[in-house]
Amino acid sequence: NAGVTQTPKFQVLKTGQSMTLQCAQDMNHNSMYWYRQDPGMGLRLIYYSASEGTTDKGEVPNGYNVSRLNKREFSLRLESAAPSQTSVYFCASSVGLTRRYFGPGTRLTVL
Amino acid sequence: TQLLEQSPQFLSIQEGENLTVYCNSSSVFSSLQWYRQEPGEGPVLLVTVVTGGEVKKLKRLTFQFGDARKDSSLHITAAQPGDTGLYLCAGALATGTASKLTFGTGTRLQVTL
């Protein structure tokens, strides 16, 4: 039982490049989330998917897109990376409005 | 607008000392969670408090939910180096939707020998 897995762990991009962060969970959770974590800002919600087939914007969705590929997988895409998107990205899953199970994070640097 | 403010932001103490971390808001929460995050890892849930005035203990950690369900505190007795990490509170707003869990700004704790 791996829980929530994320790939890659580290990534360096140049401004304007695109990339997709992958997330998968094996706990059969309905809800999945993408957060970014910046110093002094806590965790801010980018997008979430309450159930398979649905996605909604969180607090800071600009510059990102998501895809809920199936119940297990939820990906986050940066179409044209900007230095302001340098952050640590966490994927999480939950059963409804209960505890979040977080992945290990992806540390992204945009030059 | 940050709904949940934590204080202090940073805390460096020696092993054996006691400490309290605060989580404050002007909003009423249906429940409040505390997470601990270690370097290079994702946050891990420590406890959920649901009832106003509720106190929960987890070994040397004591969590309290304010009577009005707007604030919470985490008290650690006789801190140990293993307590080092980032402590995050997270409040669930009483709307019942999956998105409404707001995280605090975090308190970074370092416990030295």
Min distance A84 CA to chain B CA atoms (Å): 18
Which residues fall within 8 angstroms of residue A25, CB to CB, at 6 or more apart?
A: A3, A4, A5, A32, A72, A91, A93, A101
Q: In A, which residues are within 8 Å of B41 by CB distance?
A: 104-105
Q: In B, which residues are within 8 Å of A40 by CB distance?
A: 9, 105-106
Task: Tell me: pLDDT of B1 over 60.
Answer: no
Summarised one tens digit per residue, pLDDT across range B19-60 is 999 999 998 888 999 999 998 899 999 999 999 999 999 999
- Number of other CB atoms surrounding residue A33 within 10 Å: 27
Summarised one tens digit per residue, pLDDT across range A7-21 is 999 999 999 999 999
Task: Tell me: pLDDT of B6 over 60.
Answer: yes
User: Of A44, A56, A99, which is closest to B45 when you measure between CB atoms?
Assistant: A99
The mean predicted confidence, pLDDT, of chain B is 91
Summarised one tens digit per residue, pLDDT across range B73-106 is 999 999 999 999 999 999 987 665 555 788 998 9
Q: A84 φ, ψ to 5°? A: -65, -10
CA A92 to chain centre: 8
Task: Tell me: pLDDT of A87 over 70.
Answer: yes
As given in the structure block, the two tokens for residue B102 are 């707001």
The pLDDT value recorded for residue B2 is 55
User: Of B2, B43, B99, which is closest to A102 when you measure between CB atoms?
Assistant: B43
Which amino acid, residue B4?
L
A contact test, residue of B99, B103, B105 with most A CBs within 10 A: B99
User: Which candidate, A78, A92, A106, A88, places its Cα nearest to that of A24?
Assistant: A92
The owner of tokens 């998501």 is: A66
Min distance B106 CA to chain A CA atoms (Å): 6
Could you tell me how many residues make up chain B?
Answer: 113
